Each structure stands twice: as C-alpha cells, then as structure tokens.
Amino acid sequence: MSPDSLRDDVDARLEGDAEGRPPGWSVNPSKWSQRIPIIALALVGAGAAGWLALFQRGTVDTVWEPFFGDGTEQIVRESGFSEFFERFPIGDAGIGLLGYVADAVTGAIGGTRRWRTMPWLVILFGVMIVPLGAVSIFFIVIQPIVIGTWCTLCLIAAAAMLIQIPYSLDELVATGEFLYRRKKQGRPLLRIFFLGDTDDGKWEDVEDDFEQPPTAIFKEMLVGGITLPWNLMLSLPIGLWLMFTRLTLGSEAGMANADHLIGSLVITVVVTALAESARVVRFLIIPLGAALLTTPFIYGADMTAMAASVICGILLILLSFRRGPVINGYGLWNKYIV
C-alpha cells in the first residue's frame, strides 16, 4: 500500500472521531491553552537570542545589559563557544534563535488531538525542548565558571527554555502512553508513529479552549498540568541564592563555582518537577542538598559561607520529600507520580 493510501485510510478512520482527552486523563495535553504558553515562551527566547545574534554579527552596536556591566559583551565575544561557532554564518546566538523559532513552530502545528494524530511531531517537539533546555542550562552554568560573569539576555533566554519543559511533558507522556497501548494491541507501531491512529476509551467532544470565561482560559494557560507545591516554591529562592553567592557572600573560586552549579541544577529540577507528570524528579534535589553539606569543607569556605551552605542543603533535602497536590489524572502514568 502506498503512503498516500495509508494516509487516506487513517484519515477515513479518524473522520468524525471526537475524542479529546486520552483514556484515563482528566485533561487534554494538546489543548491550545496548554500550548500557547510554550509558544509565547519560545518567542521570548527568540527575541533575546535574536538580539544577541545581531550584536554578535555586528548588525547592532549595543546590547541590553542592566546588571552585569560588560558581561554580555564578554560572553558573546570572548567565550570559547562563541569562537567555535564563528565559523558558522549565524554564530551560536543565531543557532539558538533558530532553536527557539523551531520550538514555536512545532508548538503551533497540529490540532487539539495531535497527541495521537501526529505522534512524530509531539516527540520532535519534546526532543527539541528537553535536550535544548539542558543545553541552555549548561551554558548558564559555565558562564561564571569559565568567563567569570553573566549575561542578562542569556539568563532570560535560558529561563524561557526551562519554563517550557514542565508545560511540554504531559503531551509527551500522553503520546508515549498512546503508542504503548497500540503496540500492545499488535498495531503497526511505525505506521502509527508517522500517520496517527484512533484510540480506545470513552469518546468525548473536542473541548473548545476558548468557549470559556477569560479567567478560566488564563488560568489554564498558567497552570495547565502544573501545580505549585509550597515546598518546591520555597526551593526556588534557595537555588537562586546559591547561583549568586559570588555577589551575596563574596564567595570565590571553587566554592563559588560549586554553589553556582548546584543552584542552577536545583532550579532546573524544581521547575521540571512543577509538572504533575514529572513530580518524581524532585527527589534529585536530595543529592544536590547533600552536596552542599560537603562543599564548604572541600573548598575551605569561611564560617558564613559554610553556615549558609549547610542550612541550604538541609532545607533542600527536607523540602524535597513532600509531593504536593496532583489534581489531574494521567492514565497509565498515574502510578509513576509519587
């Protein structure tokens, strides 16, 4: 059978299919109210990366840097990564811009049932956000360690990428569950991956995101698939504090680098764990908190830095145990939300 006839066959079976949510789910992860925040964040990141790209290529003479003096200029022009990417026509900032634009485009393609009609796109979307988010965090981690300063626009772009992660995870989970169900039923997995399929379970009318009061739409955009446990929210300022102990405590060398690395990782884990479907990752905070109990002794920190590190470590460990509320159902994935 030709690819066109395969597509026609699937389209015929999908015609009139009114499923909205995956079986066992209380939310549709492909709703526009779930995806618009991702698209908006990608555009914010694209704006920051675009300005940096223009500055890097000499198209503009100045770049916005309200906090770190000439930090942005140092990072854009003096980092080894920038020098490596100079051989490319658009530089590293331009490559970042393309990544954010691709996030926005892949977030906008497809309808509200794309978790099963376009599995390939959902997986591509997740692959672009999660690994690229890790790369963004890596660059933020190495900036003060390798170059000794920060870049405000880089921080904004990295934050925009990081916040996309919890918004995107539930759609990945839904598509993974869908492919698993179809595989167990003996369906041709490769064909379904590229062409989509119907699904089992109760058929629901497609939910129109925008036939709701504006306050309900806005709330769904902010917290769709995400809850804000107080313990995780208290961990965020601790991570931020650790990132900037060079400024707050005057820490130097190895101690400052260790604080910055651990603080960046704490923020990454906490933001990811705000997604109900990824709440289990909060336990990764425990080894990070344990590391804070040892780093002051390894690097010979003074009493103030030592006390701050130990207190932050203990608090992070204690705050990581509570799961917090999970208000949505995620089908087969529920057993992994602990």
pLDDT of 89 over the 70 cut: no
pLDDT of residue 6: 41
Q: Are 231 and 221 within one domain? A: no
State how many domains the chain has: 2
Which residues span the domain enclosing 231?
A: 227-338
> Residue 14's pLDDT band (boundaries 50, 70, 90)?
very low
Q: Are 149 and 31 within one domain? A: yes
Across 216-229, average pLDDT = 75
> Residue 7's pLDDT band (boundaries 50, 70, 90)?
very low
User: Which residues are 330's β-sheet partners?
Assistant: 25
Helix (H) or strand (E) holding 177: helix 152-184
Q: Are 151 and 234 within one domain? A: no
Q: Which residues contact 18 (CB under 8 A, 6 or more apart)?
A: 203, 204, 205, 206
175 vs 94, which has greater pLDDT?
175
Across 157-174, average pLDDT = 91
Closest CA to 227 of 27, 18, 6, 8: 27
Strand ranges in the chain using DSSP code E only, listed in sequence order: none
Torsions phi, psi for 226 (to 5 deg):
-125, 135
Alpha-carbon distance 166 to 148, whole Å?
30
Find the range with the poorest average confidence among 119-128, 132-141, 212-221, 268-277. Answer: 212-221
Across 35-55, average pLDDT = 91
Across 27-47, average pLDDT = 90
pLDDT of residue 57: 79
pLDDT of residue 178: 94
Tell me, yes or no, whether 115 lies in a domain: yes
Q: Are 217 and 290 within one domain? A: no
> Residue 120's pLDDT band (boundaries 50, 70, 90)?
very high
pLDDT of 64 over the 80 cut: yes
> Residue 205's pLDDT band (boundaries 50, 70, 90)?
very low
Q: Are 219 and 318 within one domain? A: no
> Residue 5's pLDDT band (boundaries 50, 70, 90)?
very low
Alpha-carbon distance 285 to 174, whole Å?
26
pLDDT of residue 221: 67
Q: Are 67 and 161 within one domain? A: yes
> Residue 12's pLDDT band (boundaries 50, 70, 90)?
very low
Mean pLDDT for the chain? 83
Tell me, yes or no, whether 97 lies in a domain: yes
pLDDT of residue 4: 46
pLDDT of 331 over the 50 cut: yes
Q: Are 323 and 192 within one domain? A: no
89 vs 195, which has greater pLDDT?
195
Tell me, yes or no, whether 203 lies in a domain: no
Q: Residue 235 is encoded by which pair of tokens?
A: 């961990």
pLDDT of residue 33: 85
Tell me, yes or no, whether 273 lies in a domain: yes
Q: Are 178 and 46 within one domain? A: yes
CB 252: neighbour CB atoms within 10 A? 13
Find the range with the poorest average confidence among 58-67, 125-134, 187-196. Answer: 125-134
Alpha-carbon distance 180 to 176, whole Å?
6
Q: Are 296 and 326 within one domain? A: yes
Tell me, yes or no, whether 219 lies in a domain: yes
Q: Are 87 and 171 within one domain? A: yes
- How many residues belong to the chain? 338
pLDDT of residue 218: 64
Tell me, yes or no, whether 235 lies in a domain: yes
Query: Rg (Cα) of the chain, in Å, rounded?
Result: 22
Q: Are 145 and 255 within one domain? A: no
Across 288-313, average pLDDT = 92
Q: For the chain, how many helices (H) and strands (E)?
A: 16, 0
> Residue 291's pLDDT band (boundaries 50, 70, 90)?
very high
Tell me, yes or no, whether 323 lies in a domain: yes
Q: Which residues contact 138 (CB under 8 A, 6 or more apart)?
A: none
pLDDT of residue 239: 95
Cα separations in angstroms, 249 against 142, 176, 253, 291: 20, 45, 13, 18
What long-range pairs does 184-193 form, CB within 8 A, spacing at least 24?
A: 191/6, 192/119, 193/119, 193/120, 193/123
Tell me, yes or no, whether 215 lies in a domain: yes
Q: Are 32 and 165 within one domain? A: yes
Q: Residue 275 is encoded by which pair of tokens?
A: 């997604």
Across 88-108, average pLDDT = 82
pLDDT of residue 203: 45
> Residue 251's pLDDT band (boundaries 50, 70, 90)?
confident
pLDDT of residue 233: 96
What CATH number is associated with residue 117?
1.20.1440.130
